[in-house]
Amino acid sequence: MKALVAVLGGDGIGPDVVAQAVQVLEATAQLGGHHFELAPALFGGAAIDVHGDGLPPATLDLCRRADAVLLGAIGGPKWSAPDAKVRPETALLALRRELGVFANLRPVAVHPALRDASPIRPEVIDGVDFVFVRELTGGIYFGEKRRTATDATDVCTYSVAEIERVTRVAGQLARARRKRVTSIDKSNVLETSRLWRTVAGRVIAAEFPDVALEHMLVDAAAMHLIRRPRDFDVLLTENMFGDILTDEASMLAGSLGVLPSASLGEGRRGLYEPIHGSAPDIAGRGIANPIGTILSAALLLRHSLGLEREALAIETAVGRVLDAGARTADIAAPGAKTVGTGEMGAAIVAALRHASS
Ligand code: IPM
Ligand code: MG
């Protein structure tokens, strides 16, 4: 098949990890006889430096024309002064909103080879396999923001329609899994959460009667994710709760560096990015873990291009390489030998080629 993929390296370790995912996509194209046009564009701080705009029109236009967007990470101290006029993060929020990708899927599974990489005891995390569906284009991230000399305000708004559509994504996903949705809110305090609970409850009951729904307060969810993570299947959250809880949940898998995400809207086009940030402290050192981005490329193949077999082949290759003992610094045992970003990427490409030969 032919596909156009916009490739936004972004800032910090973003370009390093994206370069490895690009190698994996190129190998996939070659092995499967596909033609992927992988078109790079400036985004985030890198674009601010050149154009004074984190999401230049040419980049947005490319993303709109593309079948999918692969993104590294954005941001860094250079652009994060409290009084900065333009911010890389604003560009990311604008891109998500412009592409209409309201549902952010963040799967968390514990790879058996990494059971000792987590700070949580192995017997608690064995068999963990859940997915967050995080609402991505609404809530406090996008409400009115005001600042005076003496106070500041961020408004949080959710409409019934916004809650309905993201709940449907969670319901559909649960149907293909263990048929359980945990909807997370703070309905004992927030009006938006009371609406969330009502609407999520109504949609699941009416449209997904085969799916079991439980409601959980966000503070309790933060605890249960550590106490009994195996019990979760699909977790449905509003935007900010999902941001916070997915960083927490990444510790079950051993590192932020191994977790991918897919952001989806009404059509097939999606935005794919690792859940980690730009890690300016290790940028350019060649030690970042590319697995989160490589697994994001697998999600891209699955959700935007419909290439399930190719997606699975990448996931299997990542598993093989971990089983064989390759570890970037973030997932290595203290004192153990580590590989760099490029070596990890190359090992995954080699495993992919080996499996298909
Ligand atoms: C994420 C990130 C972003 C978010 C930042 C960089 C704006 O933390 O994708 O989780 O908060 O959504
Ligand atoms: Mg985050």
CB of 247 closer than 6 A to ligand 1?
A: no
Closest residue to atom 11 of ligand 1, CA basis: 243
Q: What is the pLDDT confidence band of residue 58, given thresholds at 50, 70 and 90?
A: very high
Q: Yes or no: say if 46 and 11 are a contact pair by the CB < 8 Å rule.
A: yes
Q: Yes or no: say if 310 and 301 are a contact pair by the CB < 8 Å rule.
A: yes
Q: How far apart are CA 259 and CA 255, in angstroms?
A: 8
Q: What is the pLDDT of residue 114?
A: 93
CB of 135 closer than 6 A to ligand 1?
A: no
- Cα–Cα distances in Å, from 232 out to 144, 227, 235, 236, 315? 33, 11, 7, 11, 21
Q: Kindly report, residue by residue over 257-312, the tens digit of the pLDDT.
A: 999 999 999 999 999 999 999 999 999 999 999 999 999 999 999 999 999 999 99
- DSSP annotation of 10 reads E
For the chain, which domains are there? 1-99+268-357 (3.40.718.10), 119-253 (3.40.718.10)
Ligand nearest to the backbone CA of 273: 1
Q: Yes or no: say if 36 and 25 are a contact pair by the CB < 8 Å rule.
A: yes
Question: To test the ligand 1 pocket, which listed residue (13, 80, 89) has its Cβ within 8 A of the most ligand atoms?
Answer: 89
Task: State how beta strands 180-185 and 234-237 pair.
Answer: parallel
Q: Kindly report, residue by residue over 172-187, the tens digit of the pLDDT.
A: 999 999 999 999 999 9
Give the residue-averaged pLDDT of 77-90. 94
Tell me if the pTM is above 0.75. Answer: yes
Q: What is the pLDDT of residue 101?
A: 98
CB of 243 closer than 6 A to ligand 1?
A: yes
In the beta sheet, which residues pair with residue 328?
none
Q: What is the pLDDT of residue 357?
A: 87
Average pLDDT over all residues of the chain? 97
Q: Yes or no: say if 253 and 109 are a contact pair by the CB < 8 Å rule.
A: yes
Residue 64 has pLDDT above 90, yes or no: yes
Q: Kindly report, residue by residue over 3-26, the tens digit of the pLDDT.
A: 999 999 999 999 999 999 999 999
- DSSP annotation of 125 reads H
Residue 83 has pLDDT above 90, yes or no: no
